[in-house]
């Protein structure tokens, strides 16, 4: 065989290195390895050789072919990487050019409700207070006039925390314990609201969640009457819901208020919605908060905050609020 394979490989190597793009490389692939290529033609000529020379030449051709394939493949990888870089560069998006107005995130619908309520009560002269989510039994129950073993404790499916004495530490079941914390730290007159997260061992369904939100109000002053409570709730109702809404009170029972009531709001279509509980702060609760019931009186109320968010937006399943599906939440 008079073919100079070394020279052929050197020439091919130079051509491959110069291939400017994948198309040019494809053409070279055909030229160097295809049916009419030097190595293929040479293989055809092997049949004319005697067996020994044929074996030797065949093996050199195989090596040459493998070398060519390696060179082509190496260059292909290089060119592909280059083309990807070019493509990425061309497709690069300037994210700062997106329509900011529509794509910017916003507050969760519960947070919006929470802040509206705060704004409204702050506008009425109330301060905003907070208390711990992990509470002791005294603040969540005892100080609120639930004696140990009192059946009213069963109204709350309490989640206890494995800390300290058994049943001494819990996830607060309502925001009412913050009333006690406010009385402990502030001198009356007190006009405070206490929004927050509360916990009950409930199974999630369309109207219940094991974690939800309440807002509590506490007013302590001299000569506060039940009329003040009713008037405050009425003022709140029209301010929050609008002129077509009114409120009513129905007798009820809570250990920490006496008398106690449920308050409902009447929608413009005449239907009633039960919103929360309220009443005059029980003397035992005033005492637990370090106040003299002869000197001070007050009212309190508390209601679920999530339901307000549902109502306002006509959402009928509480769970939607907490699934955190962006497609849902972005509507509000
Ligand atoms: N804490 C009560 C509950 O979660 C609601 C409540 C009722 C709060 C009466 C009050 C109140 O402040 O006076 O069911």
Ligand 1, residue 216: give the atom nearest the CA.
12
Does pLDDT of 1 surpass 70? no
Q: Please give the Cα distance from 303 to 324 (Å, whole number).
A: 23
- Give 41-77 pLDDT, tens digit per residue: 888 888 888 888 888 888 889 999 999 999 999 999 9
Nearest CA to ligand 1 atom 12: 301
Rounded alpha-carbon distances, angstroms, from residue 129 to 87, 132, 185, 193, 221: 56, 11, 11, 6, 17
- Give 204-242 pLDDT, tens digit per residue: 999 999 999 999 999 999 999 999 999 999 999 999 999
Res 101: pLDDT: 61
Q: Please give the Cα distance from 178 to 147 (Å, whole number).
A: 18
**What average pLDDT does the segment 8-33 reach?**
91
257 lines ligand 1 (CB under 6 A): yes
Q: Which of 47-51, 178-182, 246-250 has the lowest mean pLDDT?
A: 47-51
Peptide bond into 189 cis (omega under 30): yes
Q: 11: which residues sit within 8 A by CB, 6+ positions away?
A: none
Q: Please give the Cα distance from 79 to 210 (Å, whole number).
A: 58
277 lines ligand 1 (CB under 6 A): yes
**Domain range summary for the chain, segments of one domain joined by +:** 5-91, 109-329
* Long-range pairs for 185-188: beta carbons < 8 A, 24 or more residues apart: 188/220, 188/221, 188/291, 188/296, 188/298
262 lines ligand 1 (CB under 6 A): no
Query: What token pair was written down for 279?
Result: 């009443």
Q: What is the pTM of this model?
A: 0.70
Q: Which of 81-90, 93-102, 273-282 has the lowest mean pLDDT?
A: 93-102
Q: State the distance from the centre of ligand 1 to the C-alpha of 72, rounded, in angstroms.
A: 79
174 lines ligand 1 (CB under 6 A): yes
**Region 109-329: CATH code:** 3.30.930.10
Residue labelled with tokens 């807002």: 215
Nearest CA to ligand 1 atom 7: 277
195 lines ligand 1 (CB under 6 A): no
Rounded alpha-carbon distances, angstroms, from residue 18 to 12, 156, 168: 10, 80, 80
């Amino acid at each position: 065989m008079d073919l100079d394979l070394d020279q052929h490989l050197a020439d091919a190597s130079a051509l491959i290195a110069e291939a400017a793009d994948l198309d040019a490389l494809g053409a070279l692939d055909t030229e160097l390895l295809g049916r009419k290529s030097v190595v293929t033609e040479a293989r055809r000529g092997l049949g004319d050789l005697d067996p020994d020379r044929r074996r030797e030449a065949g093996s050199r051709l195989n090596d040459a072919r493998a070398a060519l394939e390696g060179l082509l493949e190496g260059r292909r990888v290089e060119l592909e990487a280059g083309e990807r870089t070019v493509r990425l560069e061309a497709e690069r998006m300037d994210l700062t050019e997106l329509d900011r107005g529509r794509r910017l995130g916003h507050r969760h619908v519960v947070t919006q409700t929470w802040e509206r309520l705060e704004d409204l009560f702050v506008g009425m002269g109330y301060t905003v207070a907070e208390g711990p989510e992990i509470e002791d039994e005294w603040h969540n129950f005892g100080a609120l006039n639930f004696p140990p073993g009192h059946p009213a404790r069963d109204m709350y499916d309490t989640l206890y925390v494995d800390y300290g004495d058994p049943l001494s530490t819990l996830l607060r079941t309502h925001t009412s314990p913050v009333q006690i914390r406010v009385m402990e730290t502030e001198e009356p007159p007190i006009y405070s609201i206490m929004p927050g997260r509360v916990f009950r061992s409930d199974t999630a369904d369309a109207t219940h969640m094991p974690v939800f939100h309440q807002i509590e109000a506490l007013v302590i002053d001299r000569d506060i009457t039940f009329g003040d409570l009713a008037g405050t709730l009425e003022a709140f109702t029209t301010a929050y819901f609008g002129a077509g809404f009114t409120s009513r009170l129905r007798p009820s029972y809570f250990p920490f208020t006496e008398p106690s009531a449920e308050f409902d709001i009447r929608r413009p279509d005449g239907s009633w919605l039960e919103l929360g509980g309220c009443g005059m702060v029980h003397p035992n609760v005033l005492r637990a908060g370090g106040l003299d019931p002869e000197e001070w009186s007050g009212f309190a109320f508390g209601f679920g905050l999530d339901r307000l968010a549902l109502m306002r937006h006509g959402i009928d399943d509480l769970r939607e609020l907490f699934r955190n599906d962006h497609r849902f939440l972005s509507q509000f």
